[in-house]
Structure 1
């Protein structure tokens, strides 16, 4: 790999399913939760960044209080980056509603939801800590299904349940 534009992909098997890690020479570039484990074919290149990312995910699934220290190559609008930065300030196991975050950032709950939907770093930038003011839901108003089960599992894990 000669530049940050040269991506390698690594699939990590976790308690929540398969996670696809996109890494470049010096950064973690994206994290995808794969609903279907056949969704991506990878070279499974184990660069030092990929190895560090795998170790950090393994640490998270053992101890959810583990800190993410790997540098992220964050691409998004200024607004999205502002939302994602706020999400990283929500303590592990705690939640905030879309409305609460919207009030803090002086925007709408829908805009917060849209920024969460565009989050390129599942789990690392913890959109799972954002919930509906009407209950647990999220993910386009869903109240059940894989995404909600995943959100609940991650929060329970972070709470030590």
Structure 2
């Protein structure tokens, strides 16, 4: 989720979300999205937290992405149309394409993606960790064989956000399949 790049953004917007916030910005002409967690005690109390845009950008790409993120947070059937290009190795690009193809309401394990890509689960997990467009490239839909797996490179309360995103899609889609 590339926190260092998001913290260095000069033009970004913040969206208030039930789990904390979503920062949307541009760095070196590429869109970046960062998920921000509330402290664990606040997460329990924030299930009804309003989704709201905290600021507006002069950058049309940022505003378009922010609008689509807000729509997703309200209704996960939202289809993102913002450019999903991000810098990465050829392997990372393959992983991100595979993740983007996972339908809403479904999950895949790191092992399933690794098998499909002829790689190992750890390499897939590392590519997930390098994803700078969570929600657009829905890495929260990639789980471990025996649980949620990782998320947000181990950031505090990252797994709570992953769980919220999966539950949000489940509540609005009728169930998960693997």
Question: For this structure pair, what is the TM-score category when the shorter chain's length is used for normalisation?
Answer: 0.7 to 0.9
| Partner Cα separation in structure 2 for residue 14 and residue 35 of structure 1 | 9
| Partner Cα separation in structure 2 for residue 118 and residue 101 of structure 1 | 16
Runs of 4+ residues deviating >4 angstroms: none
Q: 1:12 to 1:46 in 2, by over 3 A?
A: farther
The two structures have a TM-score, normalised by structure 1, of 0.80
Q: 1:117 to 1:24 in 2, by over 3 A?
A: closer
Shift of 1:35: 3.4
| Partner Cα separation in structure 1 for residue 84 and residue 130 of structure 2 | 15
Higher relative contact order (CA 8 A, sep 6+): 2
The one of 12, 16, 35 equivalent to 2:37 is: 35
Shift of 1:111: 0.2
Paired residue total: 148
1:78 paired with 2:90, answer: yes
SS at structure 2 position matched to 1:158: helix
| Partner Cα separation in structure 1 for residue 166 and residue 108 of structure 2 | 12
SS at structure 2 position matched to 1:101: helix
Gaps of 5+ in 1: 1-5, 38-42
The one of 158, 168, 171 equivalent to 1:157 is: 168
